[in-house]
Structure 1
Amino acid sequence: MASKDQKQGGGFFASIASGLSNFGNAMHKSVNGLLGYEGLEVINPEGAAEDAEEEAQRGRWKQEDRDGYWKMMHKYIGSDITSMVTLPVIIFEPMTMLQKMAEIMEFSSLLDKADECEDPYMRLVYASSWAISVYFPYQRTWKPFNPILGETYEMVNHGGITFISEQVSHHPPMSAGHAENEHFTYDVTSKLKTKFLGNSVDVYPVGRTHVTLKRDGVVLDLVPPPTKVNNLIFGRTFVDSPGEMIMTNLTTGDKVVLYFQPCGWFGAGRYEVDGYVYNAAEEPKILITGKWNESLSYQPCDLEGEPLPGTELKEVWRVADVPENDKFQYTHFAHKINSFDTAPRKLLASDSRLRPDRYALEMGNLSKAGSEKSSLEERQRAEKRSREANGHQFTPRWFDISGEITPTPWGDLEVYQYNGKYTAHRSAVDSSDDLDEVDIRSIEFNPWQYGNLTVE
């Protein structure tokens, strides 16, 4: 809750609520600054030499590795390196992008609350808090594995959710995902565009996320801010996502605009998120403020953006406890995603958990992880040659290309839509009387649509 001192200074809100058009510039002043957040983490965004040495001593990089990697990568400055560069496994985490997509489901209970909520503005408070919640685990600086074409990831046993994602394109890399429970459906087409800048990389989310709340059929559209990974090679690596996140209720025209503060010197402004829920007439109704690595709170406001008299900040979301000194900075939910405990009965052989390179890295065998990764990539190239020789095109199993082209701030997107086949498949498997279960760990990873591939 806000203290007495924190509630004063309401005129500040009026100064930043004059309209959506000047929202971004105004929010640089930070609602959090008014409310008195303290205890900034000391981070040098330029990467001090002692940070590099400290991180090297923790075992992620040796100095000669850094030097060699820099020599290899400097020629790509200014390029999109999404899929054109083979990267060493030393910078990877034992998880694929398909699994990372599933991490947004950790606080899916917020979407359940949004569906149950009758207040249209509080509905957006819950839904936007869900969208913010994924940024805490996404600050990990390890790179997930790029999925093999046709690779999938399944998740059950979490909040009644069934989740399926599939790698639907290799060039450009694109993934599609669908999640559903009794309260909502979640559909995403994910496509990243990157720009390598030497010691950092900009990541632009050329994707589309729609959430449908089932009770009233409300459709929410999410546009996240771009992300910047700083100090890739030299200095202390950290992730920042400065800019606006916009969630729009396509049914009513109401929206949330949340501004992520950029990280300044000594961590000034890092983690802070400020914004408002607006009605269709672009009038502020509820202010939202907090830190994406801690918690978010909300408070009703008047048409000038000032907190309503007699109201106070109320917490809507708080980050969950995390394991101490975890090697990959995983949350408990990230470990759950990698676990076979969340795997459904008769797991698809194309599932990310079964990748031998991912598993070898999880077991700490970098050499085996590297060789398995190279083998999978060569098999992917071999399958492409076989497909082209037969005049065939890759066809996703669980998603269909819709033919819809959606413009985004960073380029056009070919939208994939869930075709419903996985729901039928899972229903058939779960209702089967076949009790001849196979040890999941013994299943060989197989995302290939062409068999008998030889590595040339």
Structure 2
Amino acid sequence: MAQNQGGGGGGGGGGFFSSIASSFSSFKNQVNGLLGYEGLEVINPEGGTEDAEVEAQRGRWKGEERDSYWRSMQKYVGADITSMVTLPVLIFEPMTMLQKMAELMEYSHLLELADECEDPYLRLVYTASWFISVYYALQRTWKPFNPILGETYEMVNHCGITFIAEQVSHHPPISAAHAENEHFVYDITSKVKTKFLGNSIDVYPLGRTRLKLKKDGVILELVPPPTKVNNLIFGRTWIDSPGEMILTNLTTGDKVVLYFQPCGWFGAGRYEVDGYVYNSDEEPKILMTGKWNESMSYQPCDLEGEPLPNTELKEVWRVAEAPADDKFQYTHFAHKVNSFTTAPKKLLPSDSRLRPDRYALEMGDLSKAGSEKSILEEKQRAEKRMRESKSQEFVPKWFDQTDQIFPTPWGDLEIYEYNGKYSEHRAAADSSGTVEEVNINTIEFNPWQFGNVGETS
């Protein structure tokens, strides 16, 4: 059952949670001591320390690749490697970060329920569950491709949603996205900050996420927990997101505070999420509990956080069945996101689906994927040189940079806002009489500001 965290979002630091964290730290240190690689922690979330050496040899890397990559990465320990390290295509999935952002749309029916809900606290249950639902997809251990500057991703044919994302900055990497249907408007400016720790990496989400429900016009803002990628080089890679998620109704002051428990001894607490919906006076109204990879449930509670008499725990969300033994751990919806069935008419040539490196990886050709990735990165560098020679700044098409600086728990963020131009473009494209076949063979990937500079320079 949920633990009462208080309305402020600073709870969970003592008692059971503290002991779990202490055990987890001790466990990592013991495993680390069994290995011959200084600075590495090999963590088996399912077992003890006796199999640390075996665990270190597991994963997708061959032995010589692990040793070589560790030698090349040692100098980056403690650094932010968001945009400074070229990673081998071996650890990638055939999807870009812009597409990964669109996976949040899978369970958008929860927003329809929230928009039509008269109870302001149950409305927060629906929206918080919607934000939690994407964590099942985020647990995939493959890395998405970093978008090229100016790259886009469009999605239609799902619950009436129009989704557009654009890579608006390269250094630092910043993505912006906008989604809308008859029930909601979703906007995000997304930037991450990382800390490389040897065999793991901490990922801090420096983003601003806003959700507007159209019926009552309420605006909600999300602060997600950080994420830790464990066993990056040695061992089986796995993901944990310990910490708090805070969803605030900016219109009323009500909020949800949910605690993502860290993985402890033998997997204790892994995936578990507990917390409360609070009113503007920080009094608990509804408890929420579940697992982010499985389901979420809720129950009305008293001022002490205890379930009200004659009420029962009700399930609000459950993860959809996923394909068995999928090579990249994709859900059915992830396959839709990656396909042209969700592409609109007259797809923008800057769309992620058209990337030749992504497509080569999807076809299983790692060598071609690696060479195509290098070609795209060199073209991006060539375009930067041309832009500098012309004393020009990159200007996104679908989002405008504002003067706003948004503070997050991990640093400040420059805000990009949707400018509405994509809606005009989409309306014109949809109303046109021509229907073009859209696939990787008919449209060349082209996010370039100055044309294909790699061929013209």
* TM-score for the superposition, normalised by structure 2: 0.91
Deviations 1:230-262 (A, max 9, x none): 110111211000000000000000000000000
Aligned to 2:354: 354
Aligned to 2:239: 239
* SS of aligned partner of 1:23: coil
The offset of 1:352, in angstroms, is: 0.2
Aligned to 1:391: 391
Write the distance in 2 (CA, Å) between the matches of 1:370 and 1:18.
49
Aligned to 1:446: 446
In structure 2, give the amino acid aligned to 1:53: Q
Q: 1:49 aligns with which of 25, 48, 53?
A: 53
Q: Is 1:250 the equivalent of 2:250?
A: yes
The offset of 1:440, in angstroms, is: 5.5
The offset of 1:436, in angstroms, is: 5.3
The offset of 1:28, in angstroms, is: 4.8
Tell me if structure 2 keeps the 8 A contact 1:45–1:266: no
In structure 2, give the amino acid aligned to 1:189: T
Tell me if structure 1 keeps the 8 A contact 2:353–2:440: no
Write the distance in 2 (CA, Å) between the matches of 1:362 and 1:156.
22
Q: Is 1:282 the equivalent of 2:275?
A: no
Q: Name segments (4+ residues, structure 1) moved above 6 Å.
A: none
Tell me if structure 2 keeps the 8 A contact 1:255–1:280: yes
Aligned to 2:207: 207
The offset of 1:82, in angstroms, is: 0.3
Distance change >3 Å, CA 269–CA 249, structure 1 → 2: same
Tell me if structure 2 keeps the 8 A contact 1:49–1:235: no
Q: Is 1:20 the equivalent of 2:8?
A: yes
* SS of aligned partner of 2:348: coil
Write the distance in 2 (CA, Å) between the matches of 1:62 and 1:270.
28
Runs of 5+ unmatched residues, structure 2: 19-44
Write the distance in 2 (CA, Å) between the matches of 1:45 and 1:116.
51
5 Å matches for 1:50-449?
Answer: 50-55=54-59, 60-435=60-435, 437=437, 441-449=441-449
Write the distance in 2 (CA, Å) between the matches of 1:363 and 1:44.
38
Write the distance in 2 (CA, Å) between the matches of 1:112 and 1:18.
29
Tell me if structure 2 keeps the 8 A contact 1:46–1:231: no
* SS of aligned partner of 2:87: coil
The offset of 1:136, in angstroms, is: 0.6
The offset of 1:442, in angstroms, is: 1.6
In structure 1, give the amino acid aligned to 2:117: C
The offset of 1:50, in angstroms, is: 2.3
Write the distance in 2 (CA, Å) between the matches of 1:430 and 1:135.
33
Tell me if structure 2 keeps the 8 A contact 1:99–1:352: yes
The offset of 1:26, in angstroms, is: 5.9
The offset of 1:52, in angstroms, is: 3.8
In structure 2, give the amino acid aligned to 1:216: D
Aligned to 1:35: none
* SS of aligned partner of 1:441: coil
Tell me if structure 2 keeps the 8 A contact 1:195–1:201: yes
Deviations 1:258-296 (A, max 9, x none): 000001121111000000000000000000000001100
Distance change >3 Å, CA 47–CA 450, structure 1 → 2: farther
Write the distance in 2 (CA, Å) between the matches of 1:114 and 1:391.
48
Distance change >3 Å, CA 294–CA 438, structure 1 → 2: closer
The offset of 1:437, in angstroms, is: 4.8
* SS of aligned partner of 1:269: coil
Deviations 1:147-200 (A, max 9, x none): 000000000011110000000000000000000000000000000000001000
The offset of 1:433, in angstroms, is: 1.9
Write the distance in 2 (CA, Å) between the matches of 1:88 and 1:300.
49
* SS of aligned partner of 1:122: helix
Percent identity among equivalent residues? 74
Distance change >3 Å, CA 17–CA 176, structure 1 → 2: closer
* SS of aligned partner of 1:310: coil
The offset of 1:438, in angstroms, is: 5.6
Write the distance in 2 (CA, Å) between the matches of 1:140 and 1:46.
26
* SS of aligned partner of 1:167: strand
Tell me if structure 1 keeps the 8 A contact 2:153–2:351: yes
The offset of 1:22, in angstroms, is: 5.2
* SS of aligned partner of 1:25: coil
Write the distance in 1 (CA, Å) between the matches of 2:48 and 2:240.
13
Write the distance in 2 (CA, Å) between the matches of 1:403 and 1:95.
31
The offset of 1:451, in angstroms, is: 1.6
The offset of 1:51, in angstroms, is: 2.9
Deviations 1:307-330 (A, max 9, x none): 000001000000100000000101
Write the distance in 2 (CA, Å) between the matches of 1:385 and 1:352.
23
Deviations 1:347-377 (A, max 9, x none): 1000000000000000000000000000000
Tell me if structure 1 keeps the 8 A contact 2:7–2:278: no
In structure 2, give the amino acid aligned to 1:383: E
In structure 2, give the amino acid aligned to 1:61: W
Runs of 5+ unmatched residues, structure 1: 1-5, 7-11, 31-40
The offset of 1:434, in angstroms, is: 2.6
